[in-house]
Amino acid sequence: MSQAVPKPVTQLIEAFSRLPGIGPKTASRLTYYLLRAPDELSQTLATAIADLKAKTRTCSVCYNITEDDPCAICRDENRDSSTIVVVEEPLDVLAVERTGAYQGRYHVLHGAISPVEGIGPEDLKIRELVARVSAGGVREVIIATNPGIEGDATAMYLQRQLAPTGVKITRLARGLPTGGDLEYVDSVTLLRALQGRHEM
């Protein structure tokens, strides 16, 4: 950066640039916005970031992000503990919860198997899932990894690891999006929609 830019400005731009989805231009815009914004906004942001790291942890049962251990979902006696949805990331828990249709428990892997990125099964919370299911009380494991090479590889690995437990293993259905036109759907999605068809 130019010598005309103060070091604290450069440092914040570089810090923002390291975040996913934020390039140098967006990082610069955010930094200069904070320079003009009221001091309270910067203080609120700084406090929120500090609290994020200091006051959150992973649940010792499902590995979701929580303030309390175990998390509220794992503590909720009204939820079905015999069903576990396995997701890649904590954000995926929020997506399933938004549907309002699922009342079971979760297990967060914290990633997907990706040899290209050097992520193997041992880097994920797979061992913990197998131990949790092996302990008993689980009737069904719903694998909700993302569709794609990594998600499918993770799902296949999970299926092999969980098969000896005798638990029912299912995978989220995939197919056509609501409101989509057949002419714009890729062939893999259309094929999966055909294979996953059900009786009306």
Q: Which domain holds residue 45?
A: 7-55
pTM higher than the cut 0.95: no
Q: Report the pLDDT value the prediction gives residue 189, as an integer from 0 to 100.
A: 78
- Pairing mode of beta strands 80-87, 140-143: parallel
3-state secondary structure of 3: coil
- Cα torsion 180, 86, 110, 136 to 10°: value is 180
- Residues 172-200 have a mean pLDDT of 75
pLDDT value at position 187?
Answer: 81
Residues 81 and 162 in one domain: yes
Q: What is the CATH number of the domain that holds 37?
A: 1.10.8.420
DSSP 89-102: SHHHHHHHHHHS--
State whether 162 and 82 are in the same domain: yes
- Tell me if 68 is assigned to some domain: no
State pLDDT tens for residues 4-43: 889 999 999 999 999 999 999 999 999 999 999 999 999 9
Give the CATH number for residue 123. 3.40.1360.10
Confirm whether 112 is domain-assigned: yes
Query: How does DSSP assign 163-183, residue by residue?
Result: GGGT-EEEE----PPTT--GG
Q: Is 183 contained in some domain?
A: no
Q: In this structure, are 45 and 96 located in the same domain?
A: no
Please tell me whether residues 33 and 82 are part of one structural domain. Answer: no
What are the pLDDT digits (tens) for 49-58?
Answer: 999 999 999 9
Residue 190 within any structural domain of the chain: no
Domain membership flag for residue 69: no
Residue 72 lies in a domain: no
State how many domains the chain has: 2
